[in-house]
Structure 1
Amino acid sequence: MKHNPAFLALVESILPQITEVTVEQYQSMAGWDLLDVREDSEWQQGRLPNSQHLGRGIIERDIETRFPDKQSPLVLYCGGGYRSALAANNLQVMGYSKVVSLAGGYKAWLERKLPIEHD
């Protein structure tokens, strides 16, 4: 998907504020919860194994219910790493201290031909 310039500029402006991890780094991160922040329709088409869905539209509203401990280690991913970066930044602003974004997101996972889950 081609993204609009202002969206890309917004993401670029917050990248220095967050931590991104590669697929390979994520695979060695035991004990971290994996959150898919994509839209419901994207989640239904396939997702990373053992991920939980908490879409970008509601994550800030519902994160404290699902993860009340702000020290919870969270890896966020989306389709390409942009929305998850924005969500990671917002969660940090909300006080979450162990939140990272999966660089390249679902697309990077698929490029490595790693398994996905379906309903």
Structure 2
Amino acid sequence: MQHPNAFSALVNAILPKITEVTIEAYQLDDSWYLIDVREDREWLQDHLPQAQHLSRGILERDIEARFPDKNTPILLYCAGGARSALAAHNLQLMGYTRVGSMAGGYKGWIQRQLPVVQD
């Protein structure tokens, strides 16, 4: 999917300010809480194992109820990494200190032929 120019510019401006975690690094470190920030319909189709769902529309509103400790290691993912990058930046602005965005997101996971969960 080709993103609009202004959206791409926004994401590119955010990327140097956040931590991107590769899929391989995530697989080697089981301390992350994995959060799927995709839309409900995307989550319901399938999602990564061990993921919890907090879509971008409610993430900032509900994150503190789910993770009150702002030092909790939280790794966000979306379809390709753009929405999760923006979400990671917002969580940092909210005081979360160990937050990252999964590089490549769901699409990268699928390209590696890794398992997904269908509820």
Residues in 2 aligned to 1:89 and 1:46: alpha-carbon distance in whole angstroms: 25
TM-score by length of 1: 0.99
Pairing 1:4-43 to 2, within 5 Å after superposition: 4-43=4-43
Gaps of 5+ in 1: none
Kindly provide the amino acid, as one letter, of the partner of residue 36 in structure 2: D
SS at match of 2:76: strand
Aligned 1:71-86 pairs, distance under 5 A: 71-86=71-86
Runs of 5+ in structure 2 lacking a partner? Answer: none
* Paired amino acid for 2:59: I
Partners of 1:86 and 1:31 in 2: CA distance: 22
Distance 2:62 2:79 in 1: 21
Match of 1:54 in 2: 54
CA distance in 1, matches of 2:39, 2:30: 26
| Secondary structure in structure 1 of the residue aligned to 2:35 | strand
1:16 shift after superposition = 0.6
Q: Which amino acid aligns with 1:65?
A: A
2:106 corresponds to which residue? 106
Q: Secondary structure at the match of 1:9?
A: helix
Please give the TM-score of this superposition, normalised by the length of structure 2.
0.99
**Number of residue equivalences:** 119
Identical positions, percent: 64
Q: Once the 2 structures are TM-superposed, how far is the Cα of residue 30 of structure 1 from its aligned partner?
A: 1.5
Corresponding residue number in structure 2 for 1:65: 65
Residue type of the alignment partner of 2:68: P
Deviation, structure 1 residue 99: 0.2
Structure 1 segments, 4+ long, off by >2 Å, are none
Could you say which residue in structure 1 is the equivalent of 2:117?
Answer: 117
**Aligned partner of residue 48 in structure 1, secondary structure:** coil
1:92, 1:41 → 2: CA distance? 26
Aligned-residue CA RMSD (Å): 0.5
